[in-house]
Structure 1
Amino acid sequence: MPTTTTAKRVTAADVARSLGISRATVGFVLNDTPGQKISDATRDRVIAEARRLGYRANNAARALASGRSRIVLLVMPDWPLDHNLRTNLDEASLALDEAGYSLVTMTPHAGGKAQPLWETLNPDVVMGLTPFTREQIARFRAAGVEHIVPDIPLEDGTALDDLSDGPAQQVRHLVERGRTRLALAGPSDPRLADLRELRRSIARAEIERTPGIELVASADLDAASATERLHEFLEAGADAIVAYNDDVAAWLLGAALRSGIDIPGRVGIVGHDDTPVASLIVPSLTTVRIDIAGLGRFFAQMALNAADGAPVPTDRPRATSEIIARETT
């Protein structure tokens, strides 16, 4: 019967034995221990031999010795993973990787049975895109998490805030195009309720302070109900629609095209987020582009400061936004 063998893990002692130098010297080099006077030539020899032998650091042992896992756990709200959110996560992950940390994400679900990752990974930092509840913070603390960002409970007055004045820019753009009777269209996805109401309130406030402009309808929709909602908007007299995002705008645009409704002649539509679909559909979609390139790296810096015990930056970069005028307005 054939037997299987398990390759022995190459250790720092193996590297030291191969080079004929002390285990301590090899350890200092491989662990990049500060304060040690080791020549560049010896350092290069150790690194080259470690690579040749296939040495890999024992991260579990290193974490145990240092008290750090080098993991940042991002606890996500139960939101759809849209274009802007993916961009933020990519930037944060890259910035943390450059600092020697791994970004791990998880989304707790109501009634979920999986053991929370903050109990199994021993993360150095637990972060949230939105404020945690007092109960969540208590669970993190009970699992031994020392660093939580943000650590001010939701009940203490913190609130979700929008990244830009994009909804107000949607309204201003339509007014500049001569539209006076506006409808607000949001997604019916319950996971987006808070963000939907936030954007809607910004757009509504802009309408209320603009003379001669009227909000004639406001409704939520999905792909299946877009045609019905569109006809309701038109029956209310809307000559333009402010859509929560490009998905909602695209659903309405598709409904209009299938119904033979002229866009933008009968009704203008403006989306939000400038996702790839906005420039690909015909007619192409007017939308709001948000520059959030620095936001993901800001989140990463918050995590790194927390892990190092440094003050967490609070002056979050303000996203800039601009209207990208295309064919639907």
Structure 2
Amino acid sequence: MSDNKKTTRRVTSVDVAREAGLSRATVSFVLNNTPNQSIPQATRERVLEVAARLGYTPYAPARTLRSGRSDVAVFVLPDWPQGHTMADLIDRAAQVLGEAGLTLVTHVHAGEDDGLARLWSALTPAAVFGMRPFTPQERESMRRAGISAVLPPSQPSDHDLSTSFWIRGIGRLQAEYLIGKGHTRLACALPDDPRLAALGRGRAEGAAQACADAGLPAPVMSTLPMETADAAGVVASWRDAVTAVCAYNDDVALALLAGMRTLGLAAPGDLAVIGADDIPAARFAVPALTTVAQESGEMGARIARALLAALEGGSPELDFLPDTVHVVERESA
């Protein structure tokens, strides 16, 4: 076989032992950091030097068999579009877990009955976090797989990020900001992606509660298509009934601003607009988009630290939400 068709064989502990001139048992003790073994420091250093020079890396399946679990943490995500905010959360969580020797794997769970059970069988993860609470059946499959570090708690609570401040509280904050600007007739522009329907309703409920607390009518609820002409049609349907809009997120807000431009309308004079997530494009919109920002990276770090605490058998801190969720004031509202 020609050299360019040869496959590269992974370096094993047998290769390290042969190169170092030591027994396989000695090399295995060093590479696995086996406790209670009287191995001279010079021998340890020799094994590690040879392993590094040959490019040896531990074989994950074998390590899993020895320890009963892998060095993998799994984030189970709902079937949502994964945008800027979620990317920041996952990146920061991966960093914190990586510093502790764990690899983060994300899995989008669309709700199939045995999907998670197959995942546990394939990965045997050390820890699992769910963006939504797990069902009793899903928790039982994790118990059978020997996964003990599972968050959030079994009962839905404020720590459930799909129903927490991350959803309802942002809609409320949007509405409170617009009400504080003197607006009394609000609308909520909801996403037209069916995967986001529940999240859109959650944010709209938060806005409606803020209006109720202020003694104002409930916001007009409208789904906003992500096409300029269709968005313009929604804006036109509001006519003079609305003076300000809580957009589900910045993408919806940008579509709304584009629809307004086709009608010759401008924010905030004709219609004030506030988005959510503070994506990079928000500051470059015309006008620049007022939005709600949140420290999603810090949220990811807190989730990761909670999983690590659970792995150590401690009581994890379950306050995942960032300390700072605030309105970024720009020109659109």
Contact persistence 2:278–2:293 (CA under 8 A) = yes
CA separation of 1:216 and 1:313: change in aligned 2, threshold 3 A: closer
User: 1:146-198 CA deviation, whole Å, 9 max, x = no partner?
Assistant: 4432351559x978212384333322322333322211211122222222222
**1:195-274 mapped onto 2 (5 Å cutoff):** 195-211=199-215, 213-215=216-218, 217-224=220-227, 225-236=230-241, 238-274=242-278
- Identity in percent: 37
Q: Return the alpha-carbon distance in structure 2 between the equivalents of residues 208 and 18 of structure 1.
A: 75
Aligned-partner Cα distance in 2 for 1:41–1:63: 29
Matched, 1:298 2:299: no
Give the C-alpha shift of residue 107 in structure 1.
Answer: 1.6
TM-score using structure 2 length: 0.85
Separation in 2, partners of 1:188, 1:178: 29
* Cα distance, 1:35 vs structure 2: 5.4
- 8 Å CA contact retained: 1:10, 1:54: yes
Alpha-carbon distance, 1:273 to partner: 1.0
- Correspondence 1:41-60 to 2 at 5 A: 41-60=42-61
Q: Is the 8 Å Cα contact of residues 295 and 322 (structure 2) preserved in structure 1?
A: no
The DSSP-based 3-state class of the residue aligned with 2:239 is helix
- Measured after TM superposition, the shift of residue 134 of structure 1 is 2.0
Counterpart CA distance in 2 for 1:2 and 1:250 is 56
Distance 2:52 2:315 in 1: 38
Read off the aligned partner of 2:239 and give its amino acid letter: L
C-alpha deviation, 1:112, in angstroms: 9.0
- Which of 179, 183, 190 aligns to 1:186? It is 190
Q: Tell me if the contact between 2:76 and 2:128 (Cα under 8 Å) persists in the aligned partners.
A: yes
Aligned to 1:125: 127
Report whether the alignment pairs 1:310 with 2:314: yes
What is the identity, as a one-letter code, of the residue corresponding to 2:246? V
* Distance apart, 1:304 and its partner CA: 2.3
* SS of corresponding position for 1:256: helix
Please give the alpha-carbon distance, in whole angstroms, between the structure 2 residues aligned to 1:103 and 1:57.
17
Unmatched runs of 5 consecutive residues or more in structure 2:
none
Asked if the contact 1:133–1:154 (Cα under 8 Å) also holds between the matched residues in 2, the reply is no
Q: Does 1:288 align with 2:295?
A: no
CA separation of 1:313 and 1:263: change in aligned 2, threshold 3 A: closer
Are 2:107 and 1:90 equivalent residues in the alignment?
no
Q: What is the RMSD of the two structures over their aligned residues, measured on CA atoms?
A: 3.0
> Which amino acid in the other structure matches residue 266 of structure 2?
D
What is the match of residue 163 of structure 1?
A: 166
CA separation of 1:275 and 1:51: change in aligned 2, threshold 3 A: same
Q: CA offsets, 1:69-111, max 9 Å, x none? A: 1111222111110211111111111111111111111123356
Which residue does the alignment assign to 2:139? 137
Alignment partners' CA distance in 1, 2:166 and 2:40: 50
- Whether 1:67 and 2:72 are equivalent positions in the alignment is no
Q: Which amino acid aligns with 2:256?
A: L
Q: TM-score normalised to the size of structure 1?
A: 0.86
For 1:266 and 1:296, how far apart are their aligned partners in 2?
Answer: 38
Task: State how far apart, in whole Å, the 1-side matches of 2:246 and 2:153 are.
Answer: 35
In structure 2, C-alpha distance between the alignment counterparts of 1:315 and 1:282, rounded to whole Å: 36
State whether residues 73 and 127 of structure 2, in contact with CA within 8 Å, keep that contact through their aligned partners in structure 1.
yes
Residue correspondences, number: 326
The answer as to whether partners of 2:152 and 2:318 remain within 8 angstroms in 1 is no
Paired residues of 1:183 and 1:216 also in contact (CA < 8 A)? yes
Greater shift, 69-78 or 50-59, is seen at 50-59
Give 1:64 deviation, angstroms: 0.8
Q: Secondary structure at the match of 1:271?
A: strand
Q: Is the contact made by 1:241 and 1:269 (CA closer than 8 Å) also made in structure 2?
A: yes
Shift of 1:254: 0.4
Of 150, 164, 186, the residue aligned with 1:148 is 150
Distance of 1:28 and 1:111 partners within structure 2: 43
Secondary structure of the corresponding residue to residue 282 of structure 2: helix
In structure 2, what residue type is equivalent to 1:119? S
Conserved? CA contact 1:273–1:290, under 8 Å: yes
Q: CA deviation at 1:38?
A: 5.6
3-state SS of 1:293 partner: helix
Question: Which amino acid in 2 is paired with 1:138?
Answer: E
| 2:185 aligned partner, one-letter code | R
> What are structure 1's unaligned runs of at least 5 residues?
none
Equivalent pair of 2:92/2:297 in contact (CA under 8 Å):
yes
Structure 2: distance between partners of 1:177 and 1:316? 30
